[in-house]
Structure 1
């Protein structure tokens, strides 16, 4: 695999660390179906330290454009790729500098380090093209792993992820509260348009009917089939949804599920996690991330016993961390946050979670070549490609949303 002009791309990073590139080797990082929004490469960069002349390997991950036009249109790559580059180059830099001013040096430890980025080989171009790429540190060599998307996280891991999610949201809230002009000029402009996909009516109808058919196999879902169909059809405009409400509004990732969360374990216990894949960030309701994570990425035991506990753990961590960052939290009441949870559940997260069950539970090898992807893959009507856990997660999600009057 070749990345054109890789040396030029990461030269500023190498110069800052007193190193120069000797060679590199790149291979596919993920198999087809494990990431839809881009081509991911594992890149091992051999460098030489200019002081002691010793050679070493820097392990990286390169993110490139999706392999076909259908996926690029679906993910609005011409916009979202720029957004993610700006996230690492400007937004995270702004947050890092803010952290230093308030004496917090680890304010952005939820994010991987970026070594270099571009949208084109032409420095004057403003158009994302085939040479668009950015390079991140490969955290897997530091012991970080991706969970099993078919089973989801246990309670201990889920608590860790939600506490770190709260810290990420709180960091941007603190910047907004303490330095609103900086937030307005350097962060907010990158939290606008992301995906603008509007599901065609025929795809939406097939999706809703398929979900109703599967849900109807479980007797507890049968009384709610009309509500399940109506909730699924909200997928029509979920990607262009932009409602937000102060004071909770902050950076919302909108895609925090198993594959976008790297976890580090020590003695068999989770000790830290890092969030990746930031092209779909918006300014809005943080409860969207909370609910999407819980219903997409926790295991069945957690989903049936601990949803309310996890929501409260997230909120408590959010408030505690904001207080550590010397922010006034008097307006951020739990009652108001639960109202935000209700809004997120009803407006976006039911259809979002139901929609994502298809990629989450598509069996490994079920998609052989992402260059052949079409919007037909959005409909989960090929059961041969679905992991058995698809149906149980669908039933549990539908029942819980219905019983909570979220659909």
Structure 2
């Protein structure tokens, strides 16, 4: 999942919404720029969602040429319009159970601006989120700044982040987590109501996908000499429990530090900017907030570590990254005079360990689709439906050599920690 920033050929993109035209956008720009006489001269609308890059929404890039009141020189702005899969009743039904559209619209309209205001009060304020232009509840649409204009881009999801990128991503995440904890302290309950993350106690709409992918992982183990029947049997036994064990990781615990998590924090849901001359990493902005929920920040960290790191960083440097994240979290909480529970590093490491089963789920399922490079059937139906096309696509995902190599190393690590054992 995640915003898509590339233009693609017509045959592999999703069509832009039919209602997105001059008549729709003109009053929005007039209000935004406080110029009732503004007139749109031309729209350039390009679909920007390709198969395999976004399973949950449709992204459209819009260039607006306009003439402001009293001006003879046209201006132009660039925006991203994010909408749901409104024309597919099956997809709409599944995602509707997770409140994804409402959650993200409320994030961009109400929550992220307040988090931004809080972060401006800290000792090291910086941009964390894209700026919102308009939220449209009728069309379940969000219009926000097109970050490609400021030279932000996505990194390569097939490679992942080195230490420098990972630290920057964790710095921004820690600041979001800290500001959210403070906001909920200032306005009790304003964020705890968000409880429809990818795993939650209201719906298991994604269960067919997660359980079937664990089954595919078991088949992979069976046919891999380094793993074999031992791991096949453990993964098959885990199929029935993967939803419950993962949901437990999401359940906020009263004796732990809880906050509003991003819920889908990986390479495709951040945009990075480099110096045009030196190519040095300069900035990173977080995007895509449809799965935010009140939970343990360990969820975001396990998700990020097991989807978004270069292989050796993933295996060798997670402890250092946890320590770095924790240092930024604590500093930001103190900057904002948070009076609630602030975990020590040791307490936070134990909190991470308590939710570590989620690393198994993410490694077997989420990361598998995120590094998939077989895009012919890479759509939501291909992930979810128990038909010949779906089964074929899910099995094809596990032919990925990088995925197979990582899991050959990782499954024994998980097993030695007891994470592959089925317990009540």
Give the TM-score of the pair, scaled to structure 2.
Answer: 0.80
Q: CA shift at 1:19, angstroms?
A: 5.2
Which residue in 1 is equivalent to 2:150?
Answer: 142
2:262 and 2:391 map into 1 onto residues whose CA distance is 21
2:160 and 2:293 map into 1 onto residues whose CA distance is 25
Greater CA drift, 161-170 or 395-404? 395-404
1:187 maps to 2:197: no
Q: Secondary structure at the residue paired with 2:130?
A: coil
| CA RMSD, 1 decimal | 3.2
2:295 and 2:281 map into 1 onto residues whose CA distance is 29
Q: CA shift at 1:368, angstroms?
A: 6.5
Contact 1:40 1:62 in 2 (8 A): yes
Which residue in 1 is equivalent to 2:334?
Answer: 323
1:14-60, CA deviations, whole angstroms, 9 ceiling, x for partnerless residues?
32799553332211112122101011111111122335443222111
Distance 1:52 1:187, change over 3 A: farther
Which residue in 2 is equivalent to 1:117?
Answer: 135
Contact 2:368 2:397 in 1 (8 A): no
Which residue in 2 is equivalent to 1:44?
Answer: 63
Greater CA drift, 228-237 or 141-150? 228-237
Q: Secondary structure at the residue paired with 1:198?
A: coil
Q: CA shift at 1:283, angstroms?
A: 0.3
1:248 maps to 2:257: yes
Q: Secondary structure at the residue paired with 2:307?
A: helix
1:31 maps to 2:47: no
Contact 1:323 1:329 in 2 (8 A): no
State which of 351, 360, 367 in structure 1 corresponds to 2:370.
360
Which residue in 1 is equivalent to 2:12?
Answer: none
Stretches of structure 1 that go unaligned for 5 or more consecutive residues are 121-130
Greater CA drift, 278-287 or 4-13? 4-13
State which of 266, 269, 273 in structure 2 corresponds to 1:257.
266
1:152-181, CA deviations, whole angstroms, 9 ceiling, x for partnerless residues?
1112211211122111111112334xxx24
Structure with the larger helix share: 1
Contact 1:232 1:354 in 2 (8 A): no
Which residue in 1 is equivalent to 2:114?
Answer: 94
1:239 and 1:76 map into 2 onto residues whose CA distance is 18
1:389 maps to 2:402: yes
1:338 and 1:323 map into 2 onto residues whose CA distance is 19
Stretches of structure 2 that go unaligned for 5 or more consecutive residues are 1-15
Which residue in 2 is equivalent to 1:69?
Answer: 89
Q: Secondary structure at the residue paired with 2:355?
A: helix
2:283 and 2:129 map into 1 onto residues whose CA distance is 11
Give the TM-score of the pair, scaled to structure 1.
Answer: 0.83
State which of 68, 78, 82 in structure 1 corresponds to 2:102.
82
Which residue in 2 is equivalent to 1:162?
Answer: 170
